[in-house]
Structure 1
């Protein structure tokens, strides 16, 4: 009999997030959803001539938009959080669909207004700021809209593009439902001979098994289901890539990647620098694979062997309470206020802790401007889950400080810096755990985990970034992305990254189909750049103390009041160069040597 997951209604309240902090009742949510629709209609008065008349009218627009954003942020949060904890619940999926439609309708209404603001000449805008000092509250937002002037179309074309947004997101939604709701999870015998369903949340923990038979069976069974639907997944991926290129071309960009990074005010050279720096330091990953093969004592190292620890973990599982306690201790270096907010999150149900049937896979943090952030977890009682909790609470506190110190426009920090706070938390937790132990075996196990962070975050995410770049370039040349084409590109990248000491099993060629981040439009590279930045920042915090902490907290509170590159420069890191990436990879090489000496 397979081990079954709890149904959502069986989960203890204390293990769920406090969705009632957003709305106490569904009726209150529905009332606000209706309110958003009515308020959005009020934006129709802001014609080009009306906005151009005076700074007072421009101020009126941004005040009204701010009011709408605050409410739609709440209704989106409520609908999405409910939908994600049970993707098979059609009622909540319908509510989510209703709110998403409202959001796209709002985009449709604001798109032409943005084009009016872009079309105003610099002298008029400057005079508006002079005439109406209160407009300064929205200066960052106005300047960011006008920054994209070369890529902003006529008001009619902007309205048309905005009207396609809901349709354009259909591919993402289909992928999510296929992956999280419709797929039947395979069953595999565990170490005890019991049949276990291999869900998304259990996949990697089962690949950590000491039993090579469990690892191999899990790997083959899990990827077999993707192989069965390879043409469907290829069609979805191609649809997303074509959609990205359509919007890029419409906005006069030369490529999908350029459009994606420019939306976050990041130069495209940062993307290329990352791939180049990692490729220049590929020998470190090859050394790591050679060490892994040696320490596992295997004649052949397979793709299903990359997650199992190279040294055994000490007996006993890591409970959720233990993880919370150690994370709080590790982050004391960030000061009393930071730890106080962290504990608020732990104690006041910001977190949905455990996996249940139909729950979205993985983990995330979602900010909510009017209440507090919400963190989705699928805690698995191991070191990976402890680090995931630290990671997501890094996101949560970034959102908390950003919302606390800025209006709703300026609180929405760019995606490029979104992974810095999360991975900085992980680096500080690792430093704490390593300093806490004198036991060589435990230290080796922790270093093993740290090495895996480098492999999965810096190397693996860069490999994903290469895959995304190559496949989009193929679409841009008019080439078809069939399942076989995608599998070959992905397989060849694995061969390059993992080197000669790894048997690159044929099943890995379909792995791209299980990566939801490929539907986020050039998101993955930011894990690698953020990890590099956070390695530099955490080192400064540990070496300099308060001055570095003060710079870091200022960064967390900065929202999007500066470009992401400038915010990171203020924190002490220049991501326009290869240096942070090369320095991080040098640390990876040093850890490999230390590991080799410990065991």
Structure 2
């Protein structure tokens, strides 16, 4: 597809329907949503009605749990619909208002149901065993009940739990405010290329601009982005500070040692896995330094700057792929996963799970939403680059994971844990890259793809670990009462950049503001799973590509597992041991070997 033919849209209504997601699978229209929202307001009272009977017998507990499953699904359906509509254009106040109403309802429902876990924990093991024997249907919930009872030391009295539930709406505000600031209110100056031509800078266009062969354009786009964030540094610091404070409040209230333990314990992941990731990357960071030095030499620069980190080391690939071409390539690349898997991918395309193109006000970035039997929906800001195809297969991996788990598991276990959330998406990326490498036409194309693989390692394993270390350290500093002002945060971030990227990259003041634009710092210790999942995906994709049907079937069984087992146990079933840390070391060895091969070709 010719670069100049790539579509651009000034209004959402201009985008052909086939490239806009179909939210009618959630609700037919806004009126149906508003009606359902009105009906859902009765849930608060219904949860309170269950309190006298839920713990009276096995049948009572089973009835309550089934009611809770249905109520949770309805709230998730409501939240998915209004969130997707709000993200179509974040400037539309109507959906922001409805979203706020729903958040308030969810908080009230949480307060109205806060009696349940403390009452469940008060039951004796003998009572529960008798109920399991007398009420066979209750055995379905045994794992869920065991998980709740395992957190007994961190559950409070019913009145205290109700108070914490009421505080959840307030606790969500840092993320909500960041989203409005970042997606709706932020704007950037145009970037100017070496010929004096202007280029619009948006969240969606920034990385394509940073991959341009025109260094003046890259530098201009870099200053445009980070100059804008630098001008709001104090607001950003206040937001991130408020995020750390709300996490500390809940961690202390629930008697956890710190916010990291509070985040990981409910997901059944030891804190040692988080720390082990950072330690492994520190141990192998010299490989990233070597790659940065290779980048500096190949680009012929005396000093490598941060606006030089994304430009390909080989001849710039300025081809644009239409979305239909991207989908065809995706289907070919994912063929090793089998025809059943591909059949669902074709459904995703035909049933309009995707919202493809960037339009004014649309939420930035990309994501997959869904769960518990809901049709997944995928937000893209597709620009037609090869990187956008990787984003396409990444988000499709999320949605297939969601779909397969929902198909295979009852509602209570359909939602997979955060720790495995990025495995399916990143495995898809690995499969795409290996397909492209296997079909490379010449040495130059192979070098270009190896460069892309190095960038995947840098961007996913190293960069996300940097983010994880920053998040851990900022939360620790906040808990100690240390400075959380803009300058202190930026200094801490700059020090980590120096550690990770080494002397080959010249540190500057503006990269110190990068923490301001990372939405994941409002997701409560989420970023580390990108790194651990990438390491797992490197191992899993290698096994799938051997053509071993058993390896593929074990992987698909993992995707269908939801939360039916602890996440580390599910990955072990797929053949990957994440508890030992060996998988991270293996992935970093692969990175070092890739740098060696790329250096030989260049």
Q: Normalised by the shorter chain, which TM-score bucket?
A: over 0.9
Among 478, 484, 488, which residue is 1:485 paired with?
Answer: 488
* CA–CA separation in structure 2 for the residues paired with 1:297 and 1:25: 56
Structure 1 equivalent of residue 229 of structure 2: 226
1:428/1:538 contact within 8 Å kept? yes
User: By how many angstroms is 1:137 displaced?
Assistant: 2.2
User: In the alignment, does 2:103 pair up with 1:100?
Assistant: yes
Among 422, 426, 429, which residue is 1:426 paired with?
Answer: 429
Superposed CA offset, 1:440-476 (max 9, x none): 1111111111110000000000000110111111111
1:557-596 residue pairs with structure 2 within 5 A?
557-596=560-599
Among 330, 335, 338, which residue is 1:332 paired with?
Answer: 335
1:313/1:442 contact within 8 Å kept? no
Structure 2 equivalent of residue 41 of structure 1: 45
User: In the alignment, does 2:398 pair up with 1:374?
Assistant: no
2:54/2:63 contact within 8 Å kept? no
Among 251, 268, 278, which residue is 1:248 paired with?
Answer: 251
User: By how many angstroms is 1:98 displaced?
Assistant: 1.7
Structure 1 equivalent of residue 31 of structure 2: 27
Among 274, 277, 287, which residue is 1:274 paired with?
Answer: 277
Structure 2 equivalent of residue 201 of structure 1: 204
Structure 1 equivalent of residue 400 of structure 2: 397
Structure 2 equivalent of residue 15 of structure 1: 19
* CA–CA separation in structure 2 for the residues paired with 1:139 and 1:241: 34
Structure 2 equivalent of residue 154 of structure 1: 157
1:147-546 residue pairs with structure 2 within 5 A?
147-190=150-193, 193-314=196-317, 316-543=319-546, 545-546=548-549
Provide closer, same or farther for how the CA distance between residues 116 and 545 of structure 1 changes in structure 2, counting only shifts above 3 A. Answer: same
* CA–CA separation in structure 2 for the residues paired with 1:52 and 1:41: 18
Superposed CA offset, 1:532-589 (max 9, x none): 0111111111125210111011100000000111111111111111210010000000
1:402/1:558 contact within 8 Å kept? yes
1:333/1:545 contact within 8 Å kept? no
* CA–CA separation in structure 2 for the residues paired with 1:191 and 1:348: 44
User: By how many angstroms is 1:157 displaced?
Assistant: 0.6
1:314/1:442 contact within 8 Å kept? no
* CA–CA separation in structure 2 for the residues paired with 1:36 and 1:143: 29
1:277/1:581 contact within 8 Å kept? yes
* Secondary structure of 1:51's aligned partner: coil
Superposed CA offset, 1:181-204 (max 9, x none): 111222112466432221111111
TM-score by structure 1 length? 0.97
Among 3, 7, 10, which residue is 1:6 paired with?
Answer: 10
Among 77, 81, 91, which residue is 2:80 paired with?
Answer: 77
User: In the alignment, does 2:596 pair up with 1:597?
Assistant: no
Moved more, 540-549 or 300-309: 540-549
* Secondary structure of 2:344's aligned partner: helix
1:55-134 residue pairs with structure 2 within 5 A?
55-134=58-137
User: By how many angstroms is 1:36 displaced?
Assistant: 1.7
* CA–CA separation in structure 1 for the residues paired with 2:252 and 2:112: 22
* CA–CA separation in structure 1 for the residues paired with 2:204 and 2:121: 45
* Secondary structure of 1:543's aligned partner: coil
Superposed CA offset, 1:217-261 (max 9, x none): 111121011111111100100110111111111111011111111
* CA–CA separation in structure 2 for the residues paired with 1:131 and 1:76: 37
Superposed CA offset, 1:395-440 (max 9, x none): 0000000111112221011111000000000001111010011311
Moved more, 36-45 or 385-394: 36-45
User: By how many angstroms is 1:5 displaced?
Assistant: 5.4
1:140/1:410 contact within 8 Å kept? no
1:206/1:218 contact within 8 Å kept? yes
* CA–CA separation in structure 1 for the residues paired with 2:373 and 2:599: 50
* Structure 1 residue ranges, 4+ long, deviating more than 3 angstroms after superposition: 190-194, 368-371
2:9/2:15 contact within 8 Å kept? no
1:74/1:370 contact within 8 Å kept? no
* CA–CA separation in structure 1 for the residues paired with 2:449 and 2:195: 26
* Secondary structure of 2:248's aligned partner: helix
* Secondary structure of 1:503's aligned partner: coil
* CA–CA separation in structure 2 for the residues paired with 1:575 and 1:345: 31
1:7/1:356 contact within 8 Å kept? yes
* Secondary structure of 1:374's aligned partner: strand
Structure 1 equivalent of residue 3 of structure 2: none
* Cα RMSD (Å): 1.4
* CA–CA separation in structure 1 for the residues paired with 2:39 and 2:301: 63
* CA–CA separation in structure 2 for the residues paired with 1:105 and 1:205: 44
User: By how many angstroms is 1:313 displaced?
Assistant: 3.4
User: By how many angstroms is 1:315 displaced?
Assistant: 5.2
Superposed CA offset, 1:315-371 (max 9, x none): 532221121111101111011100000111012110000111001110000014344
Gaps in structure 2 of 5+ consecutive residues: 1-6
User: By how many angstroms is 1:25 displaced?
Assistant: 2.0
User: By how many angstroms is 1:45 displaced?
Assistant: 2.0
* CA–CA separation in structure 2 for the residues paired with 1:191 and 1:83: 38
